[in-house]
Amino acid sequence: MTDGLPQPQRLFAFIALAIAITMAVLDSAIVNVALPVIGHDLAVTPAQAIWVVNAYQLAVTVALLPLASLGDILGYKRVYWWGLAIFTVASFACANAHSLAFLACARVVQGLGAAGIMSVNIALVRFIYPRAQLGVGVGYASLVVAASSAAGPTVASVILAVAHWQWLFLVNVPLGVLALVIAARALPVTPASGKRFDTGSAVLNVVTFGLLISGLTTISQPGGTQRGLLMVAASVVAGVLYVRRERGIAVPMLPIDLLRMPVFALSMLTSVSAFAAQSITFIALPFYFQQTLGRSEAQTGLLMTPWPLVTALIAPLAGRLSDRFASEKLCSIGLAVMGCGLGSMALLSADPSSFDLGWRLGLCGLGFGLFQSPNNRVIIGSAPKERSGGASGLQSIGRLLGQSAGAVIVALVFALAKVHQTLILTSIAAALGFIAAGVSGFRRANAQH
């Protein structure tokens, strides 16, 4: 098979990926802004309305690895294309929902489509770009994710200012159709193993990750600690059965064959720690800005912008650097920079200026940008090419687990600590950043032996 696609096919293939990734990431964020309006229109409580978000996230999480496995079996282009088609149709259904039950069901289907996109997008990058430019491709993909995350609240606010909340979903329809047409012509046809899909492993995967993510979410809610811990315990039992089943399979759905590789396992641990640190910061700081510093919601949004903005700017450069220098070293430097940025939050005065806050969060974004693209390159590049789907799915799982763990840490600190909550949380986040930097450095040393 040729090493990457020729131009201009490579450009159009990446455009198709970028449109789909943008829609999938945006739909994880923009609906949060509209929850009060959706809840009012559908006559449901805020606690019930949150299922509009949870249904999507849960569907994405439980479907990532089964669909990544399906990508190895059928080819990544086919899974991506049908995932995007399902996402587009489900978006139209969401826009026409007139009850919470219908909207939540449509969001589940939309989440399954998004999982089809997310499970194989990095795997497809490996076939779109030549091996010597893999870091460039991963960097551009990281740029799309970071830019979409940063733009989420703004896009939602603009749409809601001029149209009804249904348009948050309707805008996906023409974009999805456009991406489907481009993808059909430009995306590479990747090898298909033709093996049988393992239904038993898929069921255990859904139970394990479904209970884990639901349990972590429940723990973070008032009065849900005991119930959440029981769900997490049940997920551990299911997970043990899942791992035991996968050990006897040559190409497992849960990529334990990849996790046996030290560099891959350490890369995943680095990813979970880094995204947990990011999640802690993104959840905790808005409370600090609004409740402690008295900033408005609009000011809070602007103050949070430096991190994702700088990450979006640095991600392509970090990807290019990872093609020339050791990715593990770039990750360690970036995570150490992020840890310093988070640690500097402890040195803030009682009434910091916007500049004092902005440069610190910009420093965090610089470090995170230096980490993200090279780390993704190591994850996808360390796996055999025929296991790119499993590596891509596991990379997304690591991100989601880190974000969920960060949310639980914030909830526990808010519940247990009555003072200095922001100081405690930023200190934990900084510690996670430095731990991730150390793990990444050990990954480099391990690779040399």
Tell me how many domains the chain contains. 3
10-residue stretch averages of pLDDT, the chain, 449 residues long: 78 92 80 76 78 83 90 90 96 92 93 90 86 81 77 74 86 93 90 83 92 81 83 93 86 82 85 90 82 79 82 85 84 93 87 91 92 84 77 81 81 80 91 91 60
- In the numeric block, the tokens 């990379």 are attached to 395
pLDDT of residue 449: 42
Q: Are residues 9 and 124 in the same domain?
A: yes
pLDDT at 448: 47
Q: How far is CA 35 from CA 81, 165, 223, 270, in A?
A: 29, 9, 22, 33
The encoded tokens of residue 35 equal 């929850």
| Residue 238 shares a structural domain with residue 303 | no
- Is 308 within 8 Å of 146 (Cβ atoms)? yes
Closest among 153, 217, 233 to 407, alpha carbons compared:
217
Q: Are 201 and 248 in contact (CB under 8 A)?
A: no
Q: Is 184 exposed, middle or buried (0-12, 13-18, 19+ CB in 10 A)?
A: exposed
> Does residue 235 sit in the same domain as residue 262?
no
**326 and 363 within one domain:** yes
pLDDT of residue 88: 96
Residues 294 and 434 in one domain: yes
Q: Which of 407, 380, 384 is nearest to 394 (CA)?
A: 380
Positive/negative CA dihedral, 309, 32, 137, 378: positive
Does 123 share its domain with 267?
no
Residue 165: which CATH number? 1.20.1250.20
Per-residue H/E/C for the chain = CCCCCCCCHHHHHHHHHHHHHHHHHHHHHHHHHHHHHHHHHCCCCHHHHCHHHHHHHHHHHHHHHHHHHHHHHHCHHHHHHHHHHHHHHHHHHHHCCCCHHHHHHHHHHHHHHHHHHHHHHHHHHHHHCCHHHHHHHHHHHHHHHHHHHHHHHHHHHHHHHHCCCCHHHHCHHHHHHHHHHHHHHHCCCCCCCCCCCCHHHHHHHHHHHHHHHHHHHHHCCCCCHHHHHHHHHHHHHHHHHHHHHHHCCCCCCCCHHHHCCHHHHHHHHHHHHHHHHHHHHHHHHHHHHHHHCCCCHHHHHHHHCHHHHHHHHHHHHHHHHHCCCCHHHHHHHHHHHHHHHHHHHHHCCCCCCHHHHHHHHHHHHHHHHHHHHHHHHHHHHCCCHHHHHHHHHHHHHHHHHHHHHHHHHHHHHHHHCCCCHHHHHHHHHHHHHHHHHHHHHHHHHHHHC
Residue after which a domain boundary falls, among 191, 217, 239: 191
Tally Cβ neighbours within 10 Å of residue 291. 11
- 101-136 burial, b at 16+ Cβ within 10 Å, e below that, comes to eebbbbbbbbbbbbbbbbbbbbbbbbbbbbeebbbb
pLDDT value at residue 223 = 78
Q: What is the domain extent for residue 271? A: 254-449
Asked whether residue 277 falls in the same domain as residue 177, the answer is: no
Cα distance between residue 297 and residue 381, in whole Å:
41
Rounded to the nearest 5°, which phi and psi values hold at 80?
-60, -50
Gyration radius (Cα) of the chain, Å: 21
17 shares its domain with 118: yes
Of 147, 167, 191, the one marking the end of a domain is 191
Taking every pair of C-alpha atoms in the chain, what is the biggest distance, in angstroms? 62
pTM across the whole model: 0.80
Together in a domain, 342 and 406 = yes
| Residue 267, both tokens | 């890369």
Q: Are 91 and 166 contained in the same domain? A: yes
Cis bond upstream, residue 66 (ω within 30):
no
User: Residues 10, 48: one domain?
Assistant: yes
**Six-digit token pair at 154?**
């703004």
Cβ proximity of 417 and 96 under 8 Å:
no
- Looking at the fold, whether 175 and 289 belong to one and the same domain comes out as no
